Amino acid sequence: MSEELSATERSEYSIGDLAREFDVTPRAIRFYEDHGLLAPRRAGQRRIYSPRDRTRLKLTLRGKRLGLTLSEIRELIDMYEPGRDERPQLERFLSVLEAHKAGLLQQRADLEAQLSELQVFEKKIRKQLRRN
């Protein structure tokens, strides 16, 4: 009687396995591989991903959702080593998050200023149209 292993218990994954699990295209996975985020071994033309690659893909996708660049994601992931002090990685992560938050807050302020200016012009144009 064979038991199906859960995604986290397996020792290897195909590109299709990861694509299905994380709802991304195989092309996206190859793109992350090209950028040094994943390093599958090869069996001929076939890519074989390890649990480490699976975790790195999961962290990459999480980083993308947070708005991090691929180089920031790679830097943070590469800093991690099991059994080593994770403080430097956490401090760097916090620094990256703070920078992104500041950028987003600035974008929001810029958008609010633009919206305010649009409202002023819209009001002027409506007033002018009523006069004509």
Sequential pLDDT tens for the chain (132 residues): 334 555 567 899 999 999 999 999 999 999 999 999 999 999 999 999 999 999 999 999 999 999 999 999 999 888 877 777 888 888 998 999 999 999 999 999 999 999 999 999 999 999 999 998
Phi, psi of 13 (to 5 degrees): -140, 145
> What pLDDT is stored for residue 80 in this prediction?
78
What is the pLDDT at residue 119? 97
User: Residue 1: what pLDDT?
Assistant: 39
For 112, the 3-state DSSP assignment is helix
Q: Which residue, 37, 81, 88, is CA-closest to 63?
A: 37
Q: What is the pLDDT of residue 15?
A: 96
Which one of 3.30.420.40, 3.40.50.300, 1.10.1660.10, 2.40.40.20 gives the CATH number of domain 1-66?
A: 1.10.1660.10
Assign residue 5 a region: left if phi > 0, alpha if psi is -120 to 50, beta otherwise? beta
The pTM assigned to this predicted structure is 0.75
Asked if residues 29 and 38 have their Cβ atoms less than 8 Å apart, the reply is yes
SS3 letters across 35-103: CCCCCCEEECCEEEECHHHHHHHHHHHHHHHCCCCHHHHHHHHHHCCCCCCCHHHHHHHHHHHHHHHHH
Domain extents in the chain: 1-66, 80-132
